[in-house]
Structure 1
Amino acid sequence: MSSMLRSAMERGSIHGIRIALIAPVVTHLLFADDSIIFVKANVREAGVVRDILRRYEDASGQSINLEKTTISFSKGTKAFRKVGVLGVLGVREVDVQGKYLGLPTVIGQSKKALTNIIRDKLSKKLQGWRVLLFSKAGKETLIKAVAEAMPTYVMSVFKIPTTFCDELRSMVSTFWWGSDNGRRKMPWVAWSKMCKPKCRGGLGYRDFANFNKALLGKQAWRLMTNDTCLMARVLKGKYFGDRSFVDAELGHNPSYTWRIIWEAREVVMRGARRRIGDGWSTSVWWDPWIPKTQSRRIISPRLENDEDMKVAHLLREDGLGWDRQKVSSLFLPFEQERVYSIRISATKPVDGWCWDYEKDGEYSVRSAYKLFVDDGSGIEQSDFARDKWLWSRIWKMPVLPRIKVFFWQLCHDNLATKANIAKRLAGHDMDCPFCYNNMETCLHIFRDCGWVEGFWEGLGLDVSVDGGGERVREWVESTLKEMREEHCVEFMVGYWALWERRNKFIFEGVRGDLNGVFNRVKGLLGEMRADDDRELNLGEGSGSKAKTGEGRVVEEQGEDGGKEGEKQGWMRPREGAVKINVDAGFMEGMGMGFGVVCRDEHGVVLKVVAVQREETWEVKMAEAYAVLTGVKEAIDAGYKQVIFESDCLEVVTDLRTRRKGRSDIHLLYEDILSSCNIFEAVNFSFVSRRFNRVAHLLAHVTPWSLGRRVWIDDLPQHISDVSSSDLVLYN
């Protein structure tokens, strides 16, 4: 049907809709069984559409449901035209199409149509959950898995009013803290704190307004990186013509769609950077192109008449590297270092955009939202490290989720003790309900009160809770640091049971004795240990291979059919192939080295190469460049069937899977893979560093000398010895 509509437009039978003179004509939008067709309101074009639909029915065997098909006319359409079109198509007229893909087709100044969709769905869910008894941990799961996910689709397309985001937050917060006869219970922790990551003392809930911005950033990113898509061509024709989206202005009386995408550009520019290809479309002074800096822009003083300088002007005449004399004369030392860390591709692609906060260089909502969270943290690095230890310790403990949430509240000193209630309700009783000698604070009831004396002895557990600190968090942290993990579990379960007993006494008048608490704690500990044993037995029976060491598999099937890993070592290639081992190394204050060793199926060394450069790149980039160096040497030697072997598993995996991306290293991957097209057969395999010693030695060969050195017959003695030992180990 799409093809027939397009052909009809090309013949002039239908005209579609165009929002600006240089914008593309749109005749239809199709998605699954939702379709919108745009034509002029006349009988002739209506007849063309009718004929196309009938031909589609005959060819596909599907039938158009006329009862669900509607038509709407633009303002000013004459009544007789409407009657004629309706008579031809046989469908009913509506003033405005209701929804398309679940969203309203027309958005005016009032956003009630949007907000009502979200409010109604979320309210129904929350009302249904309120009749059930959920623990705080259960509520956390429901909020994150359902309540926070429901507005995501709408938020990815439209900007939600801030007031409505606050309303959503209030609805979710009320569900979390609970309500009694329609009255919201007291919130003990500010929602802004609860939206922080768990490693920073929050619960990881979403801030709806910031999440909305991060989602809309994806639309802006699409315009920046794919200017050939329909949305980009339509908006470009209307709003920014021959300019780029980054340079576009809001304009006079913009549409709601353009306004929200234009505003989302600010979100993207907080982490976007120009990926340098040929350098001709990137401004030295105005564009963000410097990696690993806060602004990603040059801050060195500009020289006169240089405002229009492009990055290409900083390259050597051959365009394959940096002109160090120019760079050193223009930039501050730390900027020079960052410039030299950018590798220039020999294929000279056009410059593009990459996202600095993801490895693959592609914008992600997760990392963009994290930027908002980090900006609002306002904590020192040392405080973050200390807090991270405590919160990680609590959340990783093998205890029930409800116990973890209880300790989260305890560390924030926000349990509903009498002293805490009195801070909010003047005149409230603050006496400890057990000893009546002190105020009931968290520290008192769990550490200082006489009713907990002998509690751990009665349980027969070796736990000491005499940690210091005048704040609850300090006391919990010092106590957990002094305990082994099994004692930490006992500590957390025991205090949760004590709090449960205290609440029964306060609200139900059930005083009881410690024996009931002892039985409760022992029962919970026994159940958890039984669950751990069950999981251990299931794991042992699964037959899965264990993994060890920095994400590397101990044994891995090589591309050439052999097993490569810690046990096998270096293996000879298949008959007729050449195995090329590569490695990268760093010499502090001097630069990088790359080692290449080529061996045939008998293990005979055909060639060894050492290349040394004065730049210093990131480790992964250097390891990938070592592979490219090996590829160049193989091409130079005329090898046809090659196996490239590296001790960097991440690089090998990326090359095997031909992983796509927009980052600097993915540009290097493209260079490697395109260069490999010359070979008859090529494979990439991983080998342990222990059995990549020859390439490792070549990458660190001394004396240091910039450039390329090649040995074919007369190998250095220490290189020859290590190469021979590889064969001995193999045999």
Structure 2
Amino acid sequence: MVDRDFLFRVLERFGFSPHWINFLKACIDGPWIFVLVNGSPQGFFQLSRGLWQGDPLPPFVFILLAKVLGRFIRHMRSEDKWKGVHVAAGVDAVTHQQFANYTILFGDASLREARIIKKTLDVFCDASDQQVNWAKSDIFFSNTDLRKQREIARILGVKVGTLPSRFLGTLLFGGPNRMSMLQRLMDSCVNKLEGWKSKWLTSAGRLLLLKSVLSAMPIYSMMCFKVLEKIVRSINQFMRFWNGKSEQDKIPLVAWDKVCQPKLAGGAGLRNWSLLNEAMGAKLIWQMYEKPDKKGVQILKHKYLDSNDRERIFTVRDPPRGSAIWNFLLSCRKVITDHITWQLGNGEKAIFWTDSWDGRPSLSLRGEVGQIRLVTEAHWGYKVRDYLVKVRSNGVDEWKWKDVDMLPLSPQ
């Protein structure tokens, strides 16, 4: 439950109209419901107050309250009371991350920070009538002695967790051994399939379960790191032979790539995990370009790139290796760069030989260009601007291509 007066004040501060707020009050204060008996509604009766289970309103109400908590934490940070965790130089400290009904809090491993976090949560809970589920909450430390860990856990009233921990099906801080993390994902998918009684389902029923349940299980993991091809093959093999143990040795009659095609193209509409994984990484790459102000994007740029320029994620020639998610993004960068073209301005950003510019395909795709490319790059440079020269004709400045005949036959 949530304090109704607090909720209505929040709605007013968020700018909801009085008419809409009164409508919500009517839903909360005096709803009428009926009970199904043998499939038939039997009479109406009125609830005193509150929303019942299954009502579509509570998720939206919870999101509003989560935003209030997030704003309160940012207020504490602005007053320099909540220190947070500094991940990269030049980026403000991280204090919290919220997703659905989960909230991850970040703070300095000090008794003062622990008391500030506890006070912040207590004030929010007292105002909203919400409660933190401490039994399902854990605290994790990095490079902190055991005595201080126990004292901070005592102040907050939570137990000390161990890493790696699972969040939304993905292991947090799993370390470099991705095979063990992905093996857990594969095992959970296999266990889910084996729990279904496939022999009692039609082919259409099995297909529906695969598309609606199994295809959604690896989504969060695929947003974080590259799924090994070995894992993909194992899951694909289990999916296509999911017809009961007696049919494990049957020869597939249709190629898997055909099965993964859309129904309009003659396929079954199943997802190709490898392509889905690349699409997830490409989506994050594009977010780095489209949303440069997001804190996660700022952290990655300040940590791994030498410029805060929006296009730098596409133009950097030899990006450094780093965390699992950064390496994953680099592996998916080609999905974007192979399908974008530069609109030339001053030519300072587009690479002459390898990039697509002004809608033209990359010049490196035009047969044997190795020798002339080596010569021009050695004498002129890499960018389109390096291949242009400004000349004055009839009192007007014009840009013209440099004359390649003036170059030696081989680089010096």
* TM-score (normalizing by structure 1): 0.39
User: 1:469-504 deviations in whole A, cap 9, x for unaligned?
Assistant: xxxxxxxxxxxxxxxxxxxxxxxxxxxxxxxxxxxx
Q: Counterpart of 2:342 in 1: which secondary structure?
A: strand
- What residue is the counterpart of 1:132 in the other structure? 200
- What residue is the counterpart of 2:98 in the other structure? 30
C-alpha change, 1:141 and 1:33, in structure 2 (3 Å) is closer
Read off the aligned partner of 1:261 and give its amino acid letter. Answer: L
| Offset, 1:119 | 3.6
| Offset, 1:48 | 0.9
- What residue is the counterpart of 1:240 in the other structure? 305
Is 1:17–1:39's contact at 8 Å kept on the other side of the alignment? yes
User: 1:201-226 deviations in whole A, cap 9, x for unaligned?
Assistant: 75554432232112211111212332
Match 1:231 to one of 296, 316, 337: 296
Kindly indicate whether residue 154 of structure 2 is the aligned counterpart of residue 73 of structure 1: no
- What residue is the counterpart of 1:209 in the other structure? 274
Match 2:174 to one of 107, 129, 134: 107
Instruction: Measure the CA separation in 2 of the matches of 1:330 and 1:149.
Output: 56
Is 2:199–2:244's contact at 8 Å kept on the other side of the alignment? no
* TM-score (normalizing by structure 2): 0.65
Q: Counterpart of 2:241 in 1: which secondary structure?
A: helix
- What residue is the counterpart of 2:320 in the other structure? 251
C-alpha change, 1:200 and 1:229, in structure 2 (3 Å) is same
Instruction: Measure the CA separation in 1 of the matches of 2:164 and 2:261.
Output: 41
Is 1:72–1:94's contact at 8 Å kept on the other side of the alignment? yes
User: 1:564-596 deviations in whole A, cap 9, x for unaligned?
Assistant: xxxxxxxxxxxxxxxxxxxxxxxxxxxxxxxxx
Read off the aligned partner of 1:232 and give its amino acid letter. Answer: V
| Offset, 1:30 | 1.9
Q: Counterpart of 1:170 in 2: which secondary structure?
A: helix
Kindly indicate whether residue 239 of structure 2 is the aligned counterpart of residue 172 of structure 1: yes
- What residue is the counterpart of 2:36 in the other structure? none
C-alpha change, 1:98 and 1:328, in structure 2 (3 Å) is closer
Q: Superposition pairs for residues 456-471 of structure 1, below 5 Å?
A: none
Kindly indicate whether residue 88 of structure 2 is the aligned counterpart of residue 20 of structure 1: yes
Match 2:222 to one of 155, 158, 164: 155
C-alpha change, 1:305 and 1:185, in structure 2 (3 Å) is closer
Kindly indicate whether residue 73 of structure 2 is the aligned counterpart of residue 5 of structure 1: yes
Instruction: Measure the CA separation in 2 of the matches of 1:22 and 1:162.
Output: 37
Is 1:43–1:84's contact at 8 Å kept on the other side of the alignment? yes
| Offset, 1:91 | 1.4
Q: Counterpart of 2:90 in 1: which secondary structure?
A: coil
Instruction: Measure the CA separation in 2 of the matches of 1:146 and 1:33.
Output: 21
| Offset, 1:22 | 3.3
C-alpha change, 1:289 and 1:152, in structure 2 (3 Å) is same
Give the unaligned 5+ runs of structure 1: 318-322, 332-731
C-alpha change, 1:36 and 1:204, in structure 2 (3 Å) is closer
- What residue is the counterpart of 2:287 in the other structure? 222
C-alpha change, 1:58 and 1:290, in structure 2 (3 Å) is same
Q: Counterpart of 1:261 in 2: which secondary structure?
A: helix
Q: Counterpart of 2:134 in 1: which secondary structure?
A: coil
Read off the aligned partner of 1:263 and give its amino acid letter. Answer: S
Q: Counterpart of 1:35 in 2: which secondary structure?
A: strand
Is 1:240–1:248's contact at 8 Å kept on the other side of the alignment? no
Q: Counterpart of 1:19 in 2: which secondary structure?
A: coil
How many correspondences in the alignment? 320
Instruction: Measure the CA separation in 2 of the matches of 1:281 and 1:225.
Output: 20
Instruction: Measure the CA separation in 2 of the matches of 1:145 and 1:165.
Output: 18
C-alpha change, 1:330 and 1:298, in structure 2 (3 Å) is farther
Instruction: Measure the CA separation in 2 of the matches of 1:141 and 1:33.
Output: 28
C-alpha change, 1:275 and 1:142, in structure 2 (3 Å) is farther
Match 1:89 to one of 131, 144, 156: 156
C-alpha change, 1:214 and 1:85, in structure 2 (3 Å) is same
C-alpha change, 1:202 and 1:8, in structure 2 (3 Å) is closer
Is 1:24–1:233's contact at 8 Å kept on the other side of the alignment? no
Read off the aligned partner of 2:119 and give its amino acid letter. Answer: D
Read off the aligned partner of 2:313 and give its amino acid letter. Answer: F
Is 1:193–1:201's contact at 8 Å kept on the other side of the alignment? yes
Whose Rg is larger? 1
Is 1:240–1:249's contact at 8 Å kept on the other side of the alignment? no
Read off the aligned partner of 1:212 and give its amino acid letter. Answer: N
C-alpha change, 1:294 and 1:115, in structure 2 (3 Å) is farther
Is 2:241–2:247's contact at 8 Å kept on the other side of the alignment? no
User: 1:330-381 deviations in whole A, cap 9, x for unaligned?
Assistant: 89xxxxxxxxxxxxxxxxxxxxxxxxxxxxxxxxxxxxxxxxxxxxxxxxxx
Identity between Structure 1 and Structure 2 (%) = 24
C-alpha change, 1:248 and 1:298, in structure 2 (3 Å) is closer
Q: Counterpart of 1:39 in 2: which secondary structure?
A: coil
Q: Superposition pairs for residues 272-283 of structure 1, below 5 Å?
A: 272-275=340-343, 278-279=345-346, 282-283=349-350
Instruction: Measure the CA separation in 1 of the matches of 2:291 and 2:332.
Output: 16
